Structure 1
């Protein structure tokens, strides 16, 4: 029985983001193929390390005090040290604390690192955090036995650090959503195909202000639904809220995946403003729901959404895109068809998880 050790996430079941969702899918897939899967899980508090089982995966829980960034760094260090007792192949999701992976090298462990996006370029980070991420990106490139890029542009970026032979491109995957209850829409006074939706953190690099300004330039007779936490004490978020017309609805953060899936599925258009990153999980989920898409115009989004999206780069362009998608039914249906075809051919979990298993088996230390 081959053994996989997963590091770099908060834990299972998935509750915190794209990497956890991916890890959940990968665990189930590999366990069905007779792998033993060990997942390190971060717990808030104090006490001894303990184990539990979740759907036949071994979970190793490491308590750490607090829930801030430093707590996660402590967790990553403790889990890295504890993991050295295992004999299988390691999969580290993200490079934020890749410095610690020097221990895997010293103990001759085989470690595959998913290098995620170009974290140090994100606008939300201060100078010290950017230096930390920049430094750990390089440690990840040097210390990983093999690197995974989830997008061709990420592969190109990593190839400026290491040989392409060390990099495997495997995108993020998603689940197909072919039907969804409209009960959630009733709770928010929404009607199918009569609104656009944004699911993103309220940060400048996600183009939220441009999207809201573009939508609010005229009376549309439709709604723009925005998911995420907004606080007027935050200067950027306050600017977004002040720019919104009365047709913009801020629903706050919704963590129920069925409700989010239903809101996305019944939307006229999914709006994706992310400017930085690889294969973004939220955009792939929109593909899985068969959405027409308006996306920020950059190489990351163009490779993922392809001809299923209208692309925009500023408020004026977003405004024009909203007008097109709400008024042109032929365009709307064409984008949906293109999105569905793109998803079926490129982003279904089955093929992506198979690629991961093939890579992990190929690099397995007993080979």
Structure 2
């Protein structure tokens, strides 16, 4: 039997934007190698008509959008959903941010599996209008989707307050195994292997940037902290707060998209700091574990399930600082944390495991088997 899958809800492939795009690239290539016909909808900047292409065996539908930002994404999702109404096979929608549009697919009888991502409406960065939009679309996605995917047990618990448990399958995010990296890639940043720690995240208040930078900067550490992310201190008050709180041992290299460089920063770091307070299985955290990082993380059920007991957890600035005080000179404990983190990754988060779980679920929901 020839299986067909259309993937909606992402910017497109090859991946350039984030975790869902990376997952889409991995899943599409995996399924194509298994004989599936896979279509991915791709957002393009500009004007003009829809056009199509083939990328490594994956069918891509390119939809130009004039608007940028969140509005452009909404317009793209609308156009992609309308286009998908003419296709057959199975549909996978990643994220529920415009789930109300998928009502058209439900009316037509198309089978749509929706990955519900995190609890977006709880994020501090959104205003009341955006939070209301996300809350409504979460409710819509729960009802409209034929089946739901949760990327974390706590997300599944949350969704189970909306729909019956049998409608939800928990499959976490995956990551690459990183057993080696090029130490020469550290040179431009003035750091040495093992003598720096790293934060890789969007610089938002809910990701504990200010608390972690203050905790590190409250005294001399004889150690560097590399903070990746797009900082705009001239236009963003929070970004300016974080940078003003940093000691001269904190480095802000901006956002880095070269995979080899990011892997080197993870692989050679002493600690990976993860301050996310909201969300499910975070891609950056999983990728850090795949590189064998010792993790210092904000203490919440999301992070504790992902990393397990091997991480050092903090609730506030003072407990985070205390971890630096103790662990920057404790090589034995740090080594044990690295080993345990990597073993937890191999147990639960390898791409091979995750992609096989998705294929099993998609085959189960394929129409007219």
TM beyond 0.5: yes
User: What CA distance in whole angstroms lies between the structure 1 residues aligned with 2:245 and 2:30?
Assistant: 45
Q: CA deviation at 1:229?
A: 1.4
Q: How far apart are 1:66 and its partner, in Å?
A: 2.3
Please state if 1:274 is matched with 2:279: no
Q: Are the equivalent residues in 2 in contact too, given 1:307–1:339 (CA < 8 A)?
A: no
* 1:210 matches 2:197: no
Displacement, 1:308?
Answer: 2.6
In the other structure, the counterpart of 2:285 is: 283
Q: Is the 8 A contact 1:43 1:62 kept in 2?
A: yes
2: distance between equivalents of 1:128 and 1:240?
27
In the alignment, the residues of structure 2 paired with residue 178 and residue 66 of structure 1 have an alpha-carbon distance, to the nearest angstrom, of: 41
Output aligned runs, 1:73-152, within 5 Å.
73-152=74-153
RMSD: 0.7
Question: How far apart in 2 are the matches of 1:332 and 1:351?
Answer: 27
Q: Which sits farther off after the overlay, 205-214 or 248-257?
A: 248-257
In the alignment, structure 1 segments of 5+ residues that lack a partner are: none
Distance 1:208 1:332 in 2: 22
CA displacement 1:119-143 (0-9 Å, x = unmatched) = 0000000000000000000000000
CA–CA distance in 1 between the matches of 2:318 and 2:239? 20
Corresponding residue of 1:237: 239
Q: Distance in 2 between matches of 1:245 and 1:37?
A: 49
1:349 to 348, 351, 365: 351
Q: 2:264 and 2:315 mapped to 1: Cα distance?
A: 28
Relative to the length of structure 1, the TM-score reads 0.99
Task: For 2:196 and 2:302, locate their aligned partners in 1 and report how far apart those are by CA, in whole Å.
Answer: 25
Q: List gaps (5 residues or longer) in structure 2.
A: none
With normalisation by structure 2, the TM-score equals 0.99
- Who is 1:71 aligned against? 72
Runs of 4+ in 1 over 3 A off after TM superposition: none
1:318-358: per-residue Cα shift (whole Å, max 9, x none)?
Answer: 10111222111111011011011101111001111011000
Alignment of 1:1-367 (within 5 A): 1-232=2-233, 233-367=235-369
Q: Deviations over 1:224-264 (max 9, x none)?
A: 10001112231111111111111111111111111111111
User: How many residue pairs get matched?
Assistant: 367
SS in 2 for 1:327: coil
